[in-house]
Amino acid sequence: MSPGERLTRFKLCSVYSHLSLYLIVVICCVGSFVSDQNAAAEEQRPNPQENNHRIEHLESYEITYPHWLQPARHRRSIHGEKQHPSEAEVLITAEGEEMTLRLHRNEQLLAPGYQEIWYSPSGSRQTSYSPSTGHCFYHGDVQGVEGSSVALSTCSGLRGLVTVNTSVSYLIEPLPAVTMDTQPPHAVFRAENLRLPNGTCGQHHSNQGQGEGLGDLIQGMMSPWGGRERRDVGQSMKYVELLLVADHAEFQKHGGDLNRTKTKLLEAANYVDKYYKSLSIRVAVIGLEVWSDQDRISVSGNPYSTLGAFLAWRRKQLHTLPNDNAQLITLV
C-alpha cells in the first residue's frame, strides 16, 4: 500500500469514527426544536407549564414568516404532491434583520441505489427504491454574507440551521398555522438558546461534550471560517456511503410515523454531509432502515453490548446492502 493510499485510508477511518458523534449531536441537539401549539405572533419567552414539553428546551424564540422569492410558490405534480425546486431563495427575519437564504438541493445526499427498508406489523420486510433526486434537503448560504452556511429541509416548512458567522447561528422550525389559509409561522432562535434536556441527547455523553460537538458542527459547516484550511481545488473528493438504522424506540419517538422518522434521519445526514464537505468528503446515504415493528437486535442501556449486536447484524446484512459505514440511532 502506497503512503498516499495509507493516508486516504486513515482519513476515511477517522471519518467513520466521528460520524457517530456528529449524528448524535445533530439528531438530539439540532433536532430538539420547538413544537409550540399556542405560539403568539411576536417574540416571547415560553412557559413550560403551558406549552408542549419540547418548548422547555428553549430560552426564547421569535416568530418569522418565510417568504419564497424564487420560485414564488411550490409546484405540484399531476398527483397533487408538492414538488421541491432544485434552487430557491427564501426571505426570513431574525432579531429584526432580514436574511435571504440561497438554497440548492443537495443532489448528492442520496447515493445511487438508495433504499428505504421498514417492516409491516406482521414483521414482513418492505423495501422501496426511492429516486435520488427531487427530495427536500438543501445546502446554501445567506445572500451577501461571505462564509455563511445553511443546511435545512423544506419537507414541511423550513427546518434547519442558518450560520451567519462564528458567533451567530440560528435554528428555524415551523409552528402550527393559525388557519389553513395563512403562511405557517416559524420559530427562529439562536443556537445557544437551545437547552439540552437531561437524560437525552445520547445518555452516554455529557451535556458539556454535546455543546462542544454542536459548536464544532456549526464551525465545520462554514467556509473559510472554523479554523479549517480552504480546500485545494485539485484535491479529489472522497465519498462515504452511509446506512442509517432507526430502532423501534426512535420510531416510537416520532409517533410511529414512518415518513416523519425517515425525514428526521435524512435531515441529520444532510447536516453531517455539509460538515464533511469542507474536508473534501461527501457523506451519501445508501440506505435507511426503520425497525417499525420491533428491534432486530437486543438494544440495551449497555452501549458495548448494543454495539456488538449491531455490528454482528450489519455483517449479516452487508451483502444485501453494501455500505461503508452504518449507524444505529436509538433512544435507549
Residue 164: pLDDT band (50, 70, 90) is very high
Give the 3-state secondary structure of residue 196. coil
Residue 315, phi-psi category: left (phi > 0), alpha (psi -120 to 50), beta (remainder)? alpha
| 328: pLDDT strictly greater than 60 | yes
- The b/e string for 253-267 (b: 16+ C-beta within 10 A; e otherwise) is bbeeebeebbbbbbb
Q: Which residues contact 326 (CB under 8 A, 6 or more apart)?
A: 242, 243, 244, 245, 310, 314
Greatest mean pLDDT among 43-57, 59-73, 183-197, 262-276 lies in 262-276
**237/231 Cα distance (integer angstroms):** 10
| 284: pLDDT strictly greater than 90 | yes
| 127: pLDDT strictly greater than 90 | yes
Instruction: Give pLDDT, residue 41.
Output: 35
233 vs 151, residue with greater confidence: 151
Q: What is the rounded average pLDDT of the residues 277-299?
A: 94
Q: Confirm if 191 and 182 have CB atoms less than 8 A apart.
A: no
Instruction: Give pLDDT, residue 5.
Output: 45
Instruction: Give pLDDT, residue 191.
Output: 84
What Rg value do the Cα atoms of the chain yield, rounded? 20
175 vs 218, residue with greater confidence: 175
Instruction: Give pLDDT, residue 322.
Output: 93
| 269: pLDDT strictly greater than 70 | yes
**330/250 Cα distance (integer angstroms):** 6
Q: What is the mean pLDDT of the chain?
A: 77
Q: What is the rounded average pLDDT of the residues 243-267?
A: 94
Residue 322, phi-psi category: left (phi > 0), alpha (psi -120 to 50), beta (remainder)? beta
Would you say the pTM of this structure is higher than 0.75? Answer: yes
* Strand 281-290 to 238-246 pairing: parallel
